[in-house]
Each structure stands twice: as structure tokens, then as C-alpha cells.
Amino acid sequence: MIISLVGYMGSGKSSVSTILGKKMHWKVVDLDHFIEEKETKSIKEIFATQGEIYFRKAENKALQSVLSSKENIILSTGGGTPIFYNNMKLLNEKSYSFFLSASPVTLAQRLAPGKSHRPLIAHLSDTELTEFVAKHLFERNPFYLEAHHKIDTDLLSNEEVALTIIDWVKNQSHQNRP
Ligand code: S3P
């Protein structure tokens, strides 16, 4: 079984997946790290040298490869993964998808300190960041909202988000008992 986390940059996908991996003893795959290992370059370098289109193709291939696994996996996707190709459809067919939702203000606050590592927002001032996130989220939300489940994370810690997902998994296994 694969549990996938989708959502905007800064929505907590990586942190929540790490907590889930530890608590559930499942393998954690971070799609960005998976691509970085395959390409032997950081995401920042891939964007700078090969451009976003190349990155999106590599991301689609990486996603197909991870989703073909039969292992128990927590998959943390990139913020743009659901937007390109048929990625969101694939995620919904091959995994149980959870959208970690947060408001633009929360996201901008979480993103401001480390924005230099994220190619899409590195050039923005902190004031520009909130407006950029609000517009970008508006475009992306329809894709994220296709996920099987939505968790509003504004008022939750990463631990609480992880526990919400674990509760769902436990419920599933109870329901599937003969
Ligand atoms: C992106 C988000 C990043 C990474 C790349 C593009 C996006 O992942 O895949 O910089 O388009 O939102 P995180 O959401 O893990 O930062």
C-alpha cells in the first residue's frame, strides 16, 4: 500500500512523511530526493541547468517508478507533482492520496526562511512571497483537491497531521478484516 502526500511547498509533506515512516515502520520516499539521486544533481541545479520542463519529465518518470512498487511506502511528492502530466490521476489510482492544505499566510511564513533552496520562490521578497503563494495556490488547488483526502493543517502540528493519517490507516485495516 502506498500513502501519498500532496500539497504546496511548505505544507509539511516531508516532515509529516518522516514522522509517518518512523511511527508506521514504512519506507519513506521523498520524490525530490529520488530525482536528485537519479540525476546526481540538486533540484536547484536541475532547474538552473536543464530547466523546468526537463525537471517535470524526470518527476513524471520518477513518480511512475515509485508508484509501481508493491512495498508499503509513504510518498512525499513535490509541490508541483499533481499539476503536470497525468500525475494526480496516477497518484489516485496507485496510492491513497492526502492533500495537506494550508492558507497562503501560513505557507508564506513557513517558506520565508528557506526560500533560497526553492527555485520557484528564491527570487521573491518576503512581501512578494505571500501574494505569489496566494495566486499560485489558487491555480494549483483544483489539482490538489482531487486527492482522496484533505487535511487542513493550519492549526495542526506535523505530529497531529501524521496521527490523523495513521488513524485513517488503522480504520482501513479494521474494515478489511474478514
Ligand atoms: C516545486 C516544489 C518542490 C520541488 C520543486 C518544484 C513546485 O518540492 O519539487 O522545487 O513546483 O511547487 P517541495 O514541495 O517539496 O518544496
Hey, CA dihedral for 124, 128, 130, 136, is it positive or negative? negative
Across 70-85, average pLDDT: 98
Cβ-in-10-Å burial (0-12, 13-18, 19+) of 46 comes to buried
Cell of 6: 500532496
pLDDT score recorded for residue 51: 97
User: Percent of the chain scored above 70 by pLDDT?
Assistant: 98
Name 150's bridge partners.
99
The response to whether residue 83 sits with its C-beta less than 6 Å from ligand 1 reads no
* Pair 87, 63: CB distance under 8 Å: yes
Nearest CA to ligand 1 atom 5: 78
Query: Looking at residue 173, what is its pLDDT?
Result: 73
Mutate to test the pocket of ligand 1, among 36, 120, 124, 141 (most ligand atoms within 8 A of CB): 120
Answer yes or no: is the C-beta of 118 below 6 A from any ligand 1 atom.
yes
The whole-number pLDDT of residue 164 equals 98
Residue 131's identity, in one-letter code, is E
| pLDDT tens per residue across span 22-67 | 999 999 999 999 999 999 999 999 999 999 999 999 999 999 999 9
Q: What is the pLDDT of residues 78-107, one digit of tens each?
A: 999 999 999 999 999 999 999 999 999 999
Average pLDDT of the chain is: 96
| pLDDT more than 90, % of the chain | 95
Ligand 1 pocket, residue 75 CB under 6 Å: no
Question: Residue 101 is which amino acid?
Answer: S
H or E segment at 139? helix 126-144
Alpha carbon distances (Å) from 130 to 81, 105, 127, 139, 166: 21, 6, 6, 14, 31
Q: How confident is the model at residue 177 (pLDDT cuts 50, 70, 90)?
A: low
Q: Is 94 in the pocket of ligand 1 (CB under 6 A)?
A: no
Residue 14 · residue 6 · CB < 8 Å? no
User: What b-and-e string marks burial along 49-69, b requiring 16 or more CB atoms within 10 Å of the CB?
Assistant: eeeeeebbebbbebbeebbee
Q: pLDDT tens-digit profile of 2-11? A: 999 999 999 9
